[in-house]
């Protein structure tokens, strides 16, 4: 069983530097993720810079807060700007880390990005997502070209927005080694697999076994990334053991949080989760 930890901020914490300095330097991302892996003992290097996709659009317009798209007319006028220092650092870090171990990148889905750039709803929001699709496709492609082994596509978790129609719209992003993440997925697991994704992250709010009944995807999860920041070591161990027991029963499983780990999650909590997951696997394999 592989153990993945998606902790974009903890490399900076491990190095003792600010997040902005960390994410603007490929060398810092490289050193931070390598140090974090030694500290925790997990099996991947997570090179993502949260929200970096928005930088491409802000660089073309303004550094003022979003939204950038307020009306239907703004959709057609939206243009991608220059590749900024954070995007450049992320791509370079992926290239450097690819020489070391299994590297995971990330991309916001067109629908998720549309939520960050606009106040639009309904069909207008879907049209904006369609406009953003080529950009997201290129960003995923760039990460694979630099050596990423897997890219997580973070989709809109709002179930009112994430409809079968919206899943169909991301089929063009369902390349080999792209992992789908979008909140609860049990009801759409078959659609995710049909679209062509090879893996999906299971939410902590649902059962891995229930999702397994609906698909043959590689399943990642499903300890809560968001709630981990409030856990002590004992709680982290308890949740990790539960997750591994269910995941190994389901099969074709990777232990991981169900999203990116928040900045304020303690190192001791992460270490406890990884250690407990390894121990649970060892115990179950002996039984």
Q: What is the CATH number of the domain that holds 55?
A: 3.20.20.210
User: Residue 220's pLDDT band (boundaries 50, 70, 90)?
Assistant: very high
Query: Is pLDDT above 90 for 267?
Result: yes
Name the percent of the chain lying above pLDDT 70.
92
Query: Is pLDDT above 80 for 82?
Result: no
Give the C-alpha distances (Å, rounded to integers) separating 219 from 93, 135, 158, 170, 181. Answer: 26, 27, 20, 19, 10
147-200: per-residue pLDDT in tens?
A: 999 999 998 766 665 666 667 777 778 888 999 998 899 988 998 999 899 999
- pLDDT for the residue numbered 2: 97
- pLDDT for the residue numbered 74: 81
- pLDDT for the residue numbered 66: 55
User: Angle CA(9)–CA(140)–CA(207) in degrees, nearest 5?
Assistant: 65
39-74: per-residue pLDDT in tens?
A: 999 999 999 999 888 887 765 544 555 567 778 788
In Å, how far from its chain's centre is CA 205?
17
- pLDDT for the residue numbered 77: 80
Q: Residue 43 sits in which domain range?
A: 2-286
Three-state DSSP at 106 gives: strand
32: enclosing H helix or E strand: helix 26-40
Token pair, residue 58, equals: 């802000």
- pLDDT for the residue numbered 139: 93
In contact, 253 and 4? CB cutoff 8 Å: no
Question: Stretch 265-278: mean pLDDT, rounded?
Answer: 97
Overall number of domains in the chain: 1
């Amino acid at each position: 069983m592989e153990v993945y930890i998606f902790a974009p901020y903890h490399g900076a914490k491990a190095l003792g530097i600010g997040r902005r300095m960390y994410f603007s330097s490929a060398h810092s991302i490289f050193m931070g993720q390598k140090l974090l892996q030694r500290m925790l003992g997990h099996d991947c290097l997570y090179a993502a810079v949260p929200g970096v996709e928005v930088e491409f659009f802000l660089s073309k317009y303004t550094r003022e807060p979003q939204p950038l798209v307020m009306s239907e007319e703004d959709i057609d006028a939206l243009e991608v700007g220059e590749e900024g220092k954070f995007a450049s650092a992320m791509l370079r870090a992926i290239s450097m880390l690819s020489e070391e171990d299994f590297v995971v990148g990330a991309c916001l889905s067109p629908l998720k990005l549309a939520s960050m750039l606009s106040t639009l709803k309904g069909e207008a929001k879907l049209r904006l997502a369609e406009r953003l699709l080529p950009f997201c496709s290129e960003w995923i492609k760039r990460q694979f070209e630099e050596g990423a082994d897997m890219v997580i596509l973070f989709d809109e978790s709002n179930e009112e927005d994430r409809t079968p129609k919206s899943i169909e719209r991301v089929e063009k992003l369902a390349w080999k080694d792209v992992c789908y993440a979008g909140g609860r997925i049990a009801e759409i697991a078959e659609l995710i697999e049909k679209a062509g994704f090879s893996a999906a992250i299971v939410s902590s709010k649902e059962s891995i076994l229930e999702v397994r009944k609906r698909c043959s995807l590689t399943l990642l999860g499903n300890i809560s990334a968001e709630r981990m920041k409030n856990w002590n070591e004992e709680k982290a161990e308890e949740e990790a053991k539960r997750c591994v027991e269910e995941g190994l029963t389901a099969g074709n499983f990777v232990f991981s949080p169900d999203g990116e780990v928040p900045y304020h999650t303690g190192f001791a909590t992460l270490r406890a989760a990884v250690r407990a997951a390894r121990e649970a696997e060892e115990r179950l394999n002996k039984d």
